[in-house]
Structure 1
Amino acid sequence: MTALRSHVDTTSEAFRRNAEAFDEKRQTLARARAAAVSGGDERSRRRHTERGKLTARQRVYQLLDPGTPFMELGQLAGHDVYDEHVPSAGLVTGIGVVSGRPAVVFANDATVKGGSYFPLTVEKQLRAQLVARENRLPCIYLVDSGGAFLPLQEHLFPGEHHLGRMFRNIAELSALGLPQIAAVMGSCTAGGAYIPSMCDETVIVRGTGTVFLGGPQLVRAATGEMVDAETLGGADLHTRVSGVADHLAENDEHALAIVREIMARDARPAPAAPPRPPRPPLYDPAELPGIVSASLREHIPARDILARLLDGSEFTEYRARYGPTIVCGTGHIGGYPVGVLINDGVLFPESAQKAANFIELCTQRDIPLLFLHNINGFMVGAEYEADGIAKHGAKLVNAVSTAKVPKFSLVIGGSYGAGNLAMCGRSMGPRLMAMWPSAKSTVVGAEQTATVMALIRGDQLAKEGKVLSAEEEESIKRPIIETYERQAHPLYYAARMWVDAVVDPTETREWLALCLAMSADAPKQETRFGVFRM
């Protein structure tokens, strides 16, 4: 491997301006994160704690092994999406270590609309279950939910990827030998009752935990029977009479301790250490915000980014002189090997072929792939269409789609249209995907879209013998640009679960190391590529 050399002047005025502009974006994200982690309003939080209950995040952190990280997924989900305030979509999900074993953790936040499931809550839970499936991780459900948010039932119930899929996933994950463990720490009503009922092993808290298909009000409406929640579905009933739950806990802390004991019985081997000792880069990752231009129209030097992400800044580049607008090669992050693809310009036919070949090599050698997006798309024009840019680009999309090694995706600059697909955007199935606070992504760039729409209108007027005025052109372009800029923002993406996280550049190495560690012990899968058009 060769140590990368950085050519960035960290004392320059441009570096300082970039860093200052980046700080403004950080502050926007910091405010959104603060709103997400605070949970529901003050009244709801106070009522929750007065009942002797821990908050959702307190439960998670008390469950985890002390001093171990929690890789939260979808923290910003639901931000400014609904008329209701639904921080973190009312559900905390992520990957952590419990009794020495990595697991995916789900914790309903009962301070947010009683822990009700909104459409994004369901999507978030399904996403985390997919992470568990792909990486062969057990699931722990800390249940405290009033069930579906009924005003939005049409977006929650009937579809293939709605509420029912959560229960199907529990059954399928259990069938794969992945432990499914529940702790009922509050209400567990209606369809939500199937989460603990379908898990392999279930704990319930005395006095606060309840499980019933129909709550007291529904029972009264349906049958006329008057019954209180504890008698209908409390901990005593379910551990002594019904057998719905296996373990009785006296409080939240006791329930979490029992879950830890259950996880400690896992007979599978403990996670293996990375193949080689981690080493810091030769260049400080704290310099990354100064390297990324405040304007994404300016070039982001690919190798300077890698020099601050890879262990020892060491990188074995593949075909360095061919197809230079995409940089491919292997290195290590946190001691784990990784094959890296990072854009250094628009994709030409030779760039696409080179990247597809590199993916073939990595799948043959079981090397995980990391895609670092900064891409406008494929080169357009008569010369490149004649050269088969569509055919060569399709080879790359084929390779990205079918590669069965772990794939991780990070948008560091722009990520537009087919370029997003070629760099393993969300629809291409990365195991995890994130954006930097300065990144943007849309089907086409805002300026290009606005210009195209103005040109179309100008052509229409020309057929009528008229000319598009500057004022009319501006009236067409301005709303398009404003809409695209808002929708391209990382916070907009994270709020809708189109990415799993917004990661600060200075924390990117740690995030990527956790990604690689999470997937390191998953069973290897054989890659079978589709037909490449030659």
Structure 2
Amino acid sequence: MPAIDSAIDPQSAEFAANAAAMQAHVDGFRRLEQAVVEAAEAKRARYTGRGLLLPRERLARLLDPGAPFLELSSLAGYKLYDDRDGTGAGGGCIAGIGYVAGVRCLVRVDNYAIKGGTISPVGMEKALRMQQMAMENKLPVVTLAQSGGANLLYANETFAPGGRGFANQARMSAAGIPQITVVHGSATAGGAYQPGLSDYVVMVRDQATMYLAGPPLLKAATGEIATEAELGGAELHTGVAGTGEYLAENDADGIRIAREILATLPWNRQLPAAAAVVYKEPLYPAEELIGVVPADAKRPYDVREILARIGDGSQFLDFKPHYDSQTVCGHIAIEGNACGVIGNNGPITAKGAVKAAQFIQLCEQANIALVFLHNTTGFMVGTDAERSGIIKHGSKMIQAVANAQVPKVSIIVGGSYGAGNYAMCGRGFDPRFIFAWPNSRTSVMGGAQAGKVLRIVSEAKMQVAGQVDEQALDELEHNTAAMMDAGNTAIACTARLWDDGLIDPRDTRRLLGFVLSVCREAQQRPLRANTFGVGRM
């Protein structure tokens, strides 16, 4: 394939300005992530005095040293519901994809050091998203559990979705996807069913408890008086009730047992022998991605400049390059993973939609994963666009995106507006993975456009009534624009789980290589399914 010839000068003042602006965005979201870590660290003395490892210490002991770990949705729930200072970001847990005893797994660690690890509605949504990832990508699930359960202030919003979480666990077991849970602390009521529905349960002596009703509720409901250990201590569940399979002496020992369980399973040996992956690094370093995108979002740039820094050997076979210049389609490889890429150099025209729809079908035919790089104001509008059949042809592209069965991965590198977000495989179209650069924005339209639309509509109503209030219209336009712009930032969108996390642009190639290999492995992996999942006898 031909290599892309970059037109960017990384020594120029323009590049330096772009890089500085992007670095400010990166530093901004990293500070928010670090604040959550520091909030947990501030409670170290309280928990280490009780012999507990902090959540991220548990995570570090679980994961293979030096192996890659992709943390997911680190800012989920940021300043939503009762998270007033932002330290509740993450939705009550630390989650991601990493290696445990050489096995690539979906890992969830309850962040009990922040608000007891209680789960808000966004935390529940994050948990369901993690389960979806595990099922789609055939990943074993390891949970280090110690949580206060659902936040009762929002129980009416989390109760029904919580049932879906339990259904997902049952279906994963039936599909042949193993689930291992280490119970480090209390698992009460509905929270007891999470380990109960796991395939392997490890309980920590003198720390872990599981019961449907704790001592206060039991006394109120039946008059019976019992201690926590008598109701559901680790010794009872591993030696009498049989709900737990393994009894650990402390946090570290429980994690050791979880690793040994995974090491015992012949998970990796069931894959077909894989040929060594050989590929060339890009001609242009991925580090330059920090300055490729203009600081001014209104300034256009060529998405091929991104491709030149993420594709193996910077090679790119441009599909129909002369048919439409604003929708870029073509073949690349990323760390040896063949994929088709669709990117934006402007609005999606009728011709661009037709081109993309055809290219998607070709990738489907060849079983090639799709990568979408979002930077579009949406579909082209206007008289000429309507006469060209923009609705009809745009619908073709949307149909192709929705129905393609190959893995789809989205990266929002700039704007992702209106139906353009749908056509480029936004969250609503179930991409296998979706991440965003920290400068990105996602919304039905830009704030300025929304403000002008409401002003025009309101002015028309005022004219009918015979009185136009220009000051009121000015305020309406300004307030609407401000509201929309505040809600479409990368931070606001990732807080609502519109993506799986924000990433440093310089990590884009490495991240895509990782998730594409996850998708490829899932396609190759056989599973031993059964009807009802593994039940405790």
Range class of TM-score, shorter chain: over 0.9
Residues 191 and 39 from structure 1, CA distance in 2 versus in 1: closer, same or farther, beyond 3 angstroms?
Answer: farther
Query: C-alpha separation between the residues in 2 aligned to 1:147 and 1:299?
Result: 47
Provide Cα deviations, 1:429-487, integer angstroms capped at 9, x if missing partner: 10111110111111011111111112222323333555563x44431221112111111
Q: What's 2:200 paired with? A: 201
Provide Cα deviations, 1:215-258, integer angstroms capped at 9, x if missing partner: 12211221222222122211111111110000011111111111
Q: Secondary structure at the match of 1:523?
A: helix
Q: Secondary structure at the match of 1:287?
A: helix
Q: What's 2:19 paired with? A: 19
Coordinate RMSD, CA, aligned? 1.8
The code of the aligned residue for 1:373 comes to H
Q: What's 1:122 paired with? A: 124
Post-superposition offset of 1:524: 7.1
> Contact conserved, 2:282 with 2:309, CA < 8 A, in 1?
yes
Q: What's 2:214 paired with? A: 215
Provide Cα deviations, 1:376-407, integer angstroms capped at 9, x if missing partner: 01111122212211010000000100111111
Q: Does 1:296 align with 2:297?
A: yes
Query: C-alpha separation between the residues in 2 aligned to 1:107 and 1:27?
Result: 25
Post-superposition offset of 1:300: 2.4
Unaligned runs of 5+ in 2: 526-537
Q: How does 1:6-405 map to 2 (within 5 A)?
A: 6-40=6-40, 42-43=42-43, 45-84=44-83, 85-157=87-159, 159=160, 162-270=161-269, 276-405=277-406
The code of the aligned residue for 1:425 comes to G
> Contact conserved, 1:416 with 1:441, CA < 8 A, in 2?
yes
Q: What's 2:431 paired with? A: 430
Q: Does 1:3 align with 2:37?
A: no
Query: C-alpha separation between the residues in 2 aligned to 1:456 and 1:56?
Result: 52
Post-superposition offset of 1:48: 2.2
Q: Secondary structure at the match of 2:59?
A: helix
Post-superposition offset of 1:53: 1.4
Query: C-alpha separation between the residues in 1 aligned to 2:274 and 2:437?
Result: 28
Q: What's 1:456 paired with? A: 457
> Contact conserved, 1:36 with 1:76, CA < 8 A, in 2?
no
Provide Cα deviations, 1:314-364, integer angstroms capped at 9, x if missing partner: 111111111221111111112111111010111111100110111101111
Q: Secondary structure at the match of 2:310?
A: coil
Query: C-alpha separation between the residues in 1 aligned to 2:382 and 2:337?
Result: 41
Q: Secondary structure at the match of 1:95?
A: strand
The code of the aligned residue for 1:448 comes to Q
Q: What's 2:530 paired with? A: none
Provide Cα deviations, 1:94-148, integer angstroms capped at 9, x if missing partner: 1111122111111111112222222112111110000001111111111111222
Q: What's 2:446 paired with? A: 445
Residues 23 and 203 from structure 1, CA distance in 2 versus in 1: closer, same or farther, beyond 3 angstroms?
Answer: same
Provide Cα deviations, 1:159-216, integer angstroms capped at 9, x if missing partner: 3xx1111111111001000001111111111101011111111111111111111112
Query: C-alpha separation between the residues in 2 aligned to 1:477 and 1:101?
Result: 54
Q: What's 1:531 paired with? A: none
How many positions carry a matched residue from both structures?
A: 520
Residues 268 and 75 from structure 1, CA distance in 2 versus in 1: closer, same or farther, beyond 3 angstroms?
Answer: same
Q: Secondary structure at the match of 1:341?
A: strand
Overall identity of the aligned pairs, in %: 41
Query: C-alpha separation between the residues in 2 aligned to 1:269 and 1:246?
Result: 23
Q: What's 1:489 paired with? A: 489
Query: C-alpha separation between the residues in 1 aligned to 2:310 and 2:187?
Result: 44
> Contact conserved, 2:81 with 2:120, CA < 8 A, in 1?
no
Query: C-alpha separation between the residues in 1 aligned to 2:388 and 2:378?
Result: 16
Query: C-alpha separation between the residues in 2 aligned to 1:151 and 1:210?
Result: 23
Residues 104 and 274 from structure 1, CA distance in 2 versus in 1: closer, same or farther, beyond 3 angstroms?
Answer: farther
Q: Secondary structure at the match of 1:413?
A: strand
Provide Cα deviations, 1:70-93, integer angstroms capped at 9, x if missing partner: 111111112111224523111111
> Contact conserved, 2:449 with 2:481, CA < 8 A, in 1?
no
The code of the aligned residue for 2:53 comes to L
Q: What's 2:510 paired with? A: 510
**TM-score, length-scaled by structure 1:** 0.94
> Contact conserved, 1:494 with 1:500, CA < 8 A, in 2?
yes
> Contact conserved, 2:184 with 2:203, CA < 8 A, in 1?
yes
The code of the aligned residue for 1:365 comes to A
> Contact conserved, 1:370 with 1:409, CA < 8 A, in 2?
yes
Deviates more, 1:19-28 or 1:267-276: 267-276
> Contact conserved, 1:183 with 1:255, CA < 8 A, in 2?
yes
> Contact conserved, 2:40 with 2:54, CA < 8 A, in 1?
no
Query: C-alpha separation between the residues in 2 aligned to 1:292 and 1:443?
Result: 22
Post-superposition offset of 1:39: 4.8
The code of the aligned residue for 1:523 comes to Q
Post-superposition offset of 1:40: 4.1
Query: C-alpha separation between the residues in 2 aligned to 1:274 and 1:100?
Result: 18
> Contact conserved, 1:405 with 1:524, CA < 8 A, in 2?
no
> Contact conserved, 1:40 with 1:113, CA < 8 A, in 2?
no
Query: C-alpha separation between the residues in 1 aligned to 2:397 and 2:347?
Result: 14
